[in-house]
A and B are shown apart, each in its own frame.
Chain A
Amino acid sequence: DAKTTQPTSMDCAEGRAANLPCNHSTISGNEYVYWYRQIHSQGPQYIIHGLKNNETNEMASLIITEDRKSSTLILPHATLRDTAVYYCIVRVVDDYKLSFGAGTTVTVRA
């Protein structure tokens, strides 16, 4: 599987959009980009995934560059409850393997 690179940590202001970057320069054409987050003392929570088109759901938007070598997760209006570790994962289509790296620790500040 392709590896991902994420910043170790970032701060965001409450009420503003939070833009979380992820590099996956070795991604293959048959690999999705998945995002999960883990709020302290809870199990990981699925956020969104995409192949090549941008995706949006009630939680977030996923913007994937045209060359698919990087992506950005956007939380449109960050709240204090969005403070968590965010994981960007590359996963082969139809493959069960789901490997978590270190992620980005996002702190939303009032």
Chain B
Amino acid sequence: GAGVSQSPSNKVTEKGKDVELRCDPISGHTALYWYRQRLGQGLEFLIYFQGNSAPDKSGLPSDRFSAERTGESVSTLTIQRTQQEDSAVYLCASSYTAGGPAFFGQGTRLTVV
């Protein structure tokens, strides 16, 4: 596709369950970001991938959060033992180079009940 694709668009899960969110970046984009946006709040940086370099995981809020990316393709963000405070929109972005404009997907709205 032409843009960043995220799936699912909406996810409702029970507290304590694990969830996996998927991001398909723009083809050829080496850099990939995950952000979180709670209702009415700003964007919080979670993690950054650049090619085969070690990712910047400094924004992950706890060890329940992890993310993987294989090469320059799909990334998955996994949240284990979900809590109600994990409810948010999770946004993925990709860019052609590290310092280039980042293009965002439409996000996955996660609701933990």
Taking beta carbons and an 8 Å cutoff, which residues of A are in contact with B? Answer: 34, 42-46, 49, 91-103
Contact = CB atoms under 8 A, between A and B. Distances in A.
Interface of B: 4, 31, 33, 35, 42-43, 45, 48, 50, 56, 91, 93, 95, 97-99, 101-107
A44 B50 contact: no
A45 B102 contact: no
B42 A42 contact: no
Given A98-B33, A99-B45, A102-B42, A46 B99 contact: no
A96 B101 contact: no
Q: Which 7 residue pairs of A and B lie closest in terms of their CB atoms, listed nearest first?
A: A43-B104, A94-B99, A100-B43, A96-B98, A46-B101, A44-B104, A43-B106
B104 A96 contact: no
12 contacts: A43-B91, A43-B107, A44-B43, A44-B93, A46-B103, A49-B101, A91-B99, A94-B99, A96-B56, A96-B99, A99-B45, A101-B42
A94 B97 CA distance: 8
Contacts of A34: 101
Contact of A44 (B56, B91, B95, B99): B91
A98 B102 contact: yes
B23 to A, nearest CB: 11
Contacts of B45: 97-99
A96 B42 contact: no
A5 B104 CA distance: 23
Interface centre among A91, A93, A96, A101 (most CB of B within 10 A): A96
A38 to B, nearest CB: 8
Contacts of A49: 101
Nearest to B50: A96
B94 to A, nearest CB: 11
